[in-house]
Each structure stands twice: as C-alpha cells, then as structure tokens.
Amino acid sequence: MSVGIPEIDEDHKRFIVLINDLNRSIADRKSPDEIVRRMEDIINDTARHFDQEERFFFEWQYPNISGHAAIHASVLKTLNAMKEQFMPYGHDSGWVDAGIKIKKILIDHILKEDMKYADYYHNHRGSVTNHKRDVNQ
C-alpha cells in the first residue's frame, strides 16, 4: 500500500494503527467515551494528513489538486457523520460495521486516489525537483 513517498507512507501507517485501535476498542466493548475519543483521533489525524497532502500537491504542481481536495472534503464529511453514530448512549451492534466501514473508506482512498498522485510524483519527480530548485534560487 506504499505510495513510495516516506512522509506520506508514515502518515498512512499511523492512521491504520489508529483505525485498528478503534476497531479493537469496539470489539472489546470499551466505554463509549473511549470509542468516540478514538474516532476523534482518527478524524483529526486524517484532516491533518489531508492538509499535508494538499500542501505537497501545490509544491509538485499536481494537476488534479481540486479534484483530490474535493474527495478529501467528502471523506471528512462522511467520517464526521459516522462519528455521530458513535455518540449515543451505549453499545450498538452497528458500531462494528461502522468501524469496518471507516477502515474501508480510508484504505480505499489510499489505494484508489492517493496512488494517482503517487504515479504523477514518480513520473515527474525530476521536474518537481527542478521547480523547487528554481523557486529557491
């Protein structure tokens, strides 16, 4: 699942860990407070990661910044809506499905969408590097 860009791969690995922690808390029937807190950790981490990716896109002059950013916004909207499902007042059988769905949404994003910029980055890295050098002169 690597995009071959170390800073981004680190982020992806970290939020997979957070998602696995959430799913374990759900399976272990931890307190609703803990589950909501883990969900908030995922949302905050994902938002920070998406911002970082978008900053890289500008640096790389990636042609589909707005398209990818719109997908980021939509993923965050979905995650926030799902967090509401974890808000209520006790355990719910729907939580297990929600935890699995969150994992799928984020992994699918990496595999389908992030891989597109990974291809661009690896095909254009020479010109990206030159651009950075020009900017810094």
The footprint of Fe ion (CB under 5 A) covers 53, 114
Comparing every residue's Cβ against Fe ion, the nearest one is 114
Helix (H, G, I), strand (E, B) or coil at 99: helix
Nearest-approach distance from CB 71 to Fe ion, in angstroms? 7
Nearest-approach distance from CB 4 to Fe ion, in angstroms? 13
Q: Give me the half-sphere count of Cα atoms (radius 13 Å) on the Cβ side of residue 46.
A: 28
Spell out the residues 6+ positions from residue 3 whose beta carbon is closer than 8 angstroms to its own.
9, 12, 110, 114, 115, 117, 118, 121
Nearest-approach distance from CB 46 to Fe ion, in angstroms? 8
- Is the Cβ of residue 62 or residue 86 nearer to Fe ion in the bound state? 62
- Is the Cβ of residue 105 or residue 128 nearer to Fe ion in the bound state? 105
- Is the Cβ of residue 27 or residue 70 nearer to Fe ion in the bound state? 70
Question: What radius of gyration do the chain's Cα atoms show?
Answer: 17
